Amino acid sequence: MPTQNRIVIIGGTACGPKATARARRLDPAAKITIIEQRENLSTATCGLPYFISGVITDESNMIARQNDYFRNVFNMEVLTHKRAVSIDRKSRKVEISDLPSGKNNTIEYDKLVIATGSAPIVPDWEGKDLDGVFTLNNLPDASAIRSYVKQLENKETVIIGAGLIGLEMAESFAKQGLKVTVVEALDWLLPKLLDFEVAAYVQKHLQESGIRLLFGQRVTGLEGSGGRVSGVITENTGIRAGLVLLSLGVKPNVSIARDAGLTIGATGGISVNQYLQTSDPNIYAGGDCVENTHLITGEKVLVPMGSTANKHGRIIGTNITGGNDTFPGVLGTAIVKIFEYNAGRTGLTESEARQYGYNVVTSLVPGPEYANYYPGGKQILVKLVAEESSGKLLGCQVVGPGEAAKRIDVMATALTSGMVVDDIANLDLSYAPPYNSAMDPLHNAANLIRNKRDKLARTVNPMELKEKLDNNEKFVLLDVRGEDEWELVRLNVPQSLLIPLPELRERLSELHTDDEIIIYCHTSVRAYQAQRILEGAGFKDVKFIEGSLSAWPYEDYLS
């Protein structure tokens, strides 16, 4: 009789259950044990903000598979309320502590999987242990927050950190009638996801939705009264709060791996090879606790995502049962719903690409999600990032109320395939008026980069123009929209001049060929045409604002 393969899996949220299911399908005879310190396996942690808000009403809906399903269908031993304490690699044993009783015992393995996930970052601030101070990492956290909100008298709520979870929870709290302030140490929201000018497009929507945003403010502590939190202290001010959510990111749970002598990478995650093996070939690891290879840079990165954890789990389940599957890496693809807006990214942002030493060219293009004559369409803003010399695509960001996810997924596929800008410009995407324009915003974004490459389009981005305005530089800010549009909204600065595009050729004498002229319209389509007209007439220094008013984030300059 062949020897039974003894598989032990530490961690039962995403990667662990996926690995067990895959392993069982490939090896019906294996002895499989999964260890989880909480009550349930396979909890949908990515949906926790929607459970807290009440969009998902029943806690049972947050559990993808009940424990008995794993026992009965997958014929595995499910050990809940147990914590893996240590790994003896020489004897291939895992020491387990029973949390209710505190008693320890050991279990032997042939193949071991570490899927211990990540833990919220909690700075050592005074007041961090006060009632009403929460992190959000699991279902018990979500249930505790949901209960606390129901009895909350002081509705002022502070979220520290403007990342994915922080902004999802801003919406969740606001929809429950709480007054929400988001405090971010950096200068814009979603700083690990978006470039500044793209984030500013979302920022305006958040503020219109009633969210107070404080940027560039570092929290130094929390204060309380009667054991409950009552405020947040920053370097600049104090903020009243009846509830505080710490949303400062996560760190990989690697203590059991480190104590066992496994290699920990420079990022702080467990080091694994393409087969998701650790430095011990009998131990595999996946999910938030490991570092991944970035497909663009080749560098090791921490990108904790439930989608990645599930891919890891399937590959590990294959390999611990004799397979040879590999995981190539990640692009950092992510998307988030923020009230009526979507914000997504894949690959590198412009700031990240420059940090890695790329000489980049970008485009910033607003446009409708589908044909503008078909009713009900909503806007999106697309930013493409490419390598200037080769046209190789490096990243994409899409934000706005319109359909962003499908554009991000197209670009994730393009980046994985190593496409260049010209490939995107000619990509055969599906088209019908209810679904798309004849030229998708991705096509337009790629063509803007091509026009820059071919010295046809010359642009400034919103940040560059604001700096010129702040410095009171001398130039002509030419608006080529109609008079009715001008009266409705415009950039109200001394440099402004209105000449509608249809009148431009007849009114060239109002401009001087040596002037620096920066043109804008609503989306930059007319502004680009105006640039070409002026250059054809001998004007030497003509540019247009990328995205024009549709991408302009600075309210102070509008009237």
How far lies 261's CA from each of 9, 87, 89, 274, 443, in Å? 18, 9, 9, 20, 50
User: Do residues 364 and 381 touch, judged by C-beta distance below 8 A?
Assistant: yes
| pLDDT tens for each residue of 459-514 | 999 999 999 999 999 999 999 999 999 999 999 999 999 999 999 999 999 999 99
Fold (CATH) for 133-248: FAD/NAD(P)-binding domain (3.50.50)
CB atoms within 10 A of CB 522: 18
SS3 31: strand
| pLDDT tens for each residue of 381-401 | 999 999 999 999 999 999 999
How far lies 314's CA from each of 21, 70, 292, 304, 481, in Å? 8, 16, 16, 17, 55
- Catalytic residue among 15, 46, 289, 396, which? 46
**Smallest Cα–Cα separation from 24: which of 79, 75, 77?**
75
CATH superfamily for domain 6-117+251-319: FAD/NAD(P)-binding domain (3.50.50.60)
Radius of gyration for the alpha carbons in the chain, expressed in angstroms and rounded: 27
Provide mean pLDDT across the span 407-422.
97
CATH superfamily for domain 459-557: Rhodanese-like domain (3.40.250.10)
User: Do residues 96 and 88 touch, judged by C-beta distance below 8 A?
Assistant: no
What span, in angstroms and rounded, lies between the C-alpha atoms of 306 and 383?
Answer: 25
How far lies 337's CA from each of 278, 374, 399, in Å? 35, 24, 10
Tokens found for residue 57: 């009403």
SS3 76: coil
Provide mean pLDDT across the span 278-288.
98
| pLDDT tens for each residue of 90-122 | 999 999 999 999 999 999 999 999 999 999 999
- pLDDT score at 313: 97
Provide mean pLDDT across the span 404-429.
97
63 vs 416, higher pLDDT: 416
Mean pLDDT of the chain: 95
**Smallest Cα–Cα separation from 89: which of 341, 275, 282?**
282
- pLDDT score at 220: 95
pLDDT above 90 as % of the chain: 91
* CATH class of the structural domain 340-453: alpha beta
What span, in angstroms and rounded, lies between the C-alpha atoms of 41 and 59?
Answer: 13
- pLDDT score at 1: 46
- pLDDT score at 554: 84
pLDDT-derived band at 2, boundaries 50, 70, 90 = low
- pLDDT score at 65: 82
| pLDDT tens for each residue of 143-194 | 999 999 999 989 999 999 999 999 999 999 999 999 999 999 999 999 999 9
**CA distance between the termini of the chain:** 83
Give residue limits of the domains in the chain.
6-117+251-319, 133-248, 340-453, 459-557
Task: Reply yes or no on whether 289 is catalytic.
Answer: no
Tokens found for residue 449: 């980069």
pLDDT at 341 > cutoff 70: yes
Give the residues across from 399 on adjacent strands.
343, 381
Provide mean pLDDT across the span 524-551.
95
Asked, colleague to colleague, whether 6-117+251-319 and 459-557 share their fold, the answer is no
**Smallest Cα–Cα separation from 346: which of 422, 397, 311?**
397
